[in-house]
Amino acid sequence: MIPDRMRGVRCHGFGGQHRYSNDLPVPVPAPGEVLVRVNASGICAADRAMWTDTGPWHLTFPFIPGHEFTGTVAALGDGAAELHDLRPGDRAVAELNVTKGHDFFAQRGLYHLTDTMEVIGATRDGGWAEYMIYPRDAVIHKVPDTLSDAAACYAEPLANAIHGVQRANIQFDDVVVVSGVGPIGMAMVQAAHLKTPRKLIVVNPGRTKRQAALRLGADLAFAPDDPQLRQAIGDLTGGRGCDVFFEASGQTAAFTLGLSLIRKAGRLVVFGVYKTPAQVDLNIFGEFKELNILGGHLAPFTYATALDLMARGLVDGDACVTQTYALADFQQALDRKPAPDELQIKVIFDPRL
């Protein structure tokens, strides 16, 4: 029995303008749409940037945030069962970017960069509610039976990480550095580990996360200011520098560190969302190192891979979901700061609580 009203959190503006309600209307699926009961929905760094008004986006309010989610199909609009190969009771995740039209980028398979894109949890209502709509044009994936709801919710950051790792084209003899092991960085560690580089190194200020990264596939882990970091990379590469540097922290100082650690003609993948501009010597890119600077955005064609890797036990999504909150406690969840020795990677909501 689907109720008429539901609990949820709506964003009425950036900078602390989120509001919890237990009287929001349950959406009704239009033709081709899927109504799901949300089982889990994550808090992303972008969500916290909306909360603190430190993000670079311009959006229309209000909307229900939450672009990392998984749910159980509750109802299907006309034609949705055939369109998406779904039945009530199926668990499924939808990709957050919903492409409409056939612009230059969509025609070339770059659907994550299209100018006609909508975003679930930003321009369309997302998963911080008991129920949500998967749009007609959404790319929807069934959740393997072996995955927990928490792991299924982790599919979105993992899919982003896989996209970044694929862009880096890791080789067997590469020395790879991952800077920042939040949800995407920790997923990059696991995905890069599967590429079997010669050495996988993590850079992160928090000791607890460094220890977790070592358990999940990293070979070495250092704080950014540890002099042994530079020494270790130098020893491994004959002083050349690392072959691949992933910047997943969103800190401009970490990007600058990457420029100093990477070798000539190395690959530097930038996957963070930054609050301040970086001031760098552009000669490093060309004149001095001829670097390959690769941006990373969203997760084209990688959601299915993320779900499959977790289902096969090659990536541990459950290990990366570390705290769970009820929707009513959204402010506590958004403001949460871990204790010094506490592991916090991905914080999620369980709307059933």
Per-residue confidence (pLDDT) for residue 115, from 0 to 100: 87
Per-residue confidence (pLDDT) for residue 310, from 0 to 100: 98
Q: For residue 116, is pLDDT > 90?
A: no
Around Cβ 81, how many Cβ atoms within 10 Å?
16
Q: In Å, how far from its chain's centre is CA 202? A: 18
| HEC assignment per residue over the chain | CCCCEEEEEEECCCCCCEEEEEEEECCCCCCCCEEEEEEEEEECHHHHHHHHCCCCCCCCCCECCCCCEEEEEEEECCCHHHHHCCCCCCEEEECCEEECCCCHHHHCCCHHHCCCEEEECCCECCCCECEEEECCCCCEEECCCCCCHHHHHCHHHHHHHHHHHHHHCCCCCCEEEEECCCHHHHHHHHHHHHCCCCEEEEECCCHHHHHHHHHCCCCEEECCCCHHHHHHHHHHHCCCCEEEEEECCCCHHHHHHHHHHEEEEEEEEECCCCCCCCCCCHHHCCCCCCCEEEECCCCCCCHHHHHHHHHCCCCCCHHHEEEEECHHHHHHHHHCCCCCCCCCCEEEECCCC
- Whether the domain at 5-154+317-349 and the domain at 160-295 fall into the same CATH topology: no
Summarize the confidence of residues 6-15 as an average pLDDT: 97
Per-residue confidence (pLDDT) for residue 299, from 0 to 100: 96
Which of 56-60, 156-160, 195-199, 310-314 comes out lowest in average pLDDT?
56-60
Per-residue confidence (pLDDT) for residue 58, from 0 to 100: 86
The residue ranges of every structural domain in the chain are: 5-154+317-349, 160-295
Summarize the confidence of residues 43-68 as an average pLDDT: 92
CATH superfamily placement of domain 160-295: NAD(P)-binding Rossmann-like Domain (3.40.50.720)
| 10, 63, 66, 181, 329 from 20: Cα distances, Å | 7, 12, 14, 30, 9
Per-residue confidence (pLDDT) for residue 273, from 0 to 100: 82
Q: Domain spanning 5-154+317-349 has what CATH number?
A: 3.90.180.10
Per-residue confidence (pLDDT) for residue 164, from 0 to 100: 98
The pLDDT tens digits for 279-296 are 899 999 999 999 999 999
Q: What average pLDDT does the chain have?
A: 96
Per-residue confidence (pLDDT) for residue 128, from 0 to 100: 98
Residue 54: band (very low, low, confident or very high) from pLDDT cuts 50, 70, 90: confident
The pLDDT tens digits for 11-35 are 999 999 999 999 999 999 999 999 9
Per-residue confidence (pLDDT) for residue 278, from 0 to 100: 86
Per-residue confidence (pLDDT) for residue 73, from 0 to 100: 98
Per-residue confidence (pLDDT) for residue 189, from 0 to 100: 98
Summarize the confidence of residues 340-350 as an average pLDDT: 96
Summarize the confidence of residues 237-260 as an average pLDDT: 97
Per-residue confidence (pLDDT) for residue 12, from 0 to 100: 97
Per-residue confidence (pLDDT) for residue 92, from 0 to 100: 98
| 179, 202, 252, 259 from 176: Cα distances, Å | 10, 9, 19, 13
Per-residue confidence (pLDDT) for residue 56, from 0 to 100: 81
Q: Which two tokens stand for residue 95?
A: 């990709």
The pLDDT tens digits for 71-101 are 999 999 999 999 999 999 999 999 999 998 8
Per-residue confidence (pLDDT) for residue 343, from 0 to 100: 98
Per-residue confidence (pLDDT) for residue 202, from 0 to 100: 98
Summarize the confidence of residues 341-351 as an average pLDDT: 97
